[in-house]
């Protein structure tokens, strides 16, 4: 089983395409692109979560470009830091770039160093950062149990903030997949006991999703399935509002 798990995991694993000094963003397909107003509002909300009330010292603006490659600009206006981008992710990435290069600050998923200066330094010239990559994928399937099995919205919100600030626009999004399977199997006529013996427990869900094991660590209570389906909706709403295109799981061919 381990051999098969590793092969499947490797086939599904991609690294973020990152070059230092570049950043990324925006929905690659455009299907779920947020409006300019939503992008700016989401960027301001994200900035407030990161720098608190000092968000008022920033101005965020959306602008359209004639390229599918993402870009952000940093300058100053009326004594404030002006960040412009063509999506919520660009704006968040611009904030991250400014904090890192001008304030020597760092925001991570589990920690942060945000000893901000009394006055934010104003750029003395226009800074333009472009990405060479249209798609920036993130997550290994196994991460959803290795790291995130017990995450609730608090942890996910911070993770999504970090993804936006680092230019991710194509995140794997399979939280709550087990509830989709449950609904489908019920429609196909399976009993609850049959489904319970098939779905695996929380720590083993990736292997169940990939079709490697049945029932191990289960059964999953209805409260788990329902709460994670609701959590997935919040995850998708936030990712799409920022301009990401979540990657949803297709049918793997694995049935009871």
Residue-wise pLDDT for 194-236, tens only, equals 999 999 999 899 899 888 899 999 999 999 999 999 999 999 9
The answer on pLDDT for 8 being more than 90 is: no
pLDDT digit string (tens) for 47-73?
999 999 999 999 999 987 766 788 999
- Residue bearing the bigger pLDDT, 120 or 249: 120
Q: How confident is the model at residue 9 (pLDDT cuts 50, 70, 90)?
A: very low
* Preceding omega of 248 cis (within 30 degrees of 0): no
pLDDT at 93 over 70: yes
pLDDT at 19 over 60: no
Q: What percentage of the chain has pLDDT greater than the value 70?
A: 86
Average pLDDT over all residues of the chain: 85
Confidence of residue 15 (pLDDT cuts 50, 70, 90): very low
Render pLDDT for 28-37 as a digit per residue (tens, 0 to 9): 334 445 677 8
Q: Which of the pair, 27 or 84, is modelled with greater confidence?
A: 84
- Residue 186 CB partners (closer than 8 Å, separation 6+): 195
Counting residues of the chain whose pLDDT is more than 90, the rounded percentage is 70
Q: pLDDT digit string (tens) for 97-107?
A: 999 999 999 99
The mean pLDDT of 101-123, rounded to a whole number, is 93
Per-residue pLDDT, 24: 31
């Amino acid at each position: 089983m381990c051999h098969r798990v590793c092969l499947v995991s490797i086939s599904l694993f991609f690294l973020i395409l990152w070059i230092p000094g570049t950043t990324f963003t925006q929905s690659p397909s455009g299907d779920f692109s947020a409006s300019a107003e939503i992008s700016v509002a989401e960027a301001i909300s994200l900035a407030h979560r990161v720098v608190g009330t000092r968000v008022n010292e920033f101005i965020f603006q959306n602008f359209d470009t004639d390229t599918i490659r993402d870009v952000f600009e940093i300058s100053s206006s009326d004594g404030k830091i002006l960040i412009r981008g063509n999506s919520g992710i660009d704006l968040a990435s611009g904030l991250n770039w400014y904090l890192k290069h001008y304030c020597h600050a760092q925001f991570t998923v589990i920690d942060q160093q945000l000893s901000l200066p009394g006055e934010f330094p104003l750029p003395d010239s226009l800074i333009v950062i472009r990405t060479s990559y249209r798609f920036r994928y993130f997550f290994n399937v196994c991460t959803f149990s290795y790291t995130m099995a017990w995450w609730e919205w608090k942890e996910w919100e911070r993770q999504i903030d970090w993804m936006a600030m680092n230019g991710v626009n194509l995140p794997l999004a399979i939280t709550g997949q087990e509830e989709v399977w449950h609904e489908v199997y019920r429609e196909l006529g399976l009993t609850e006991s049959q489904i319970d013996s098939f779905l695996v427990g929380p720590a083993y869900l990736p292997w169940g999703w990939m079709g490697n094991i049945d029932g191990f660590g289960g059964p999953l209570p209805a409260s788990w399935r329902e709460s994670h389906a609701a959590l997935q909706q919040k995850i998708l709403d936030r990712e799409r509002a920022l301009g990401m295109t979540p990657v949803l799981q297709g049918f793997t061919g694995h049935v009871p």
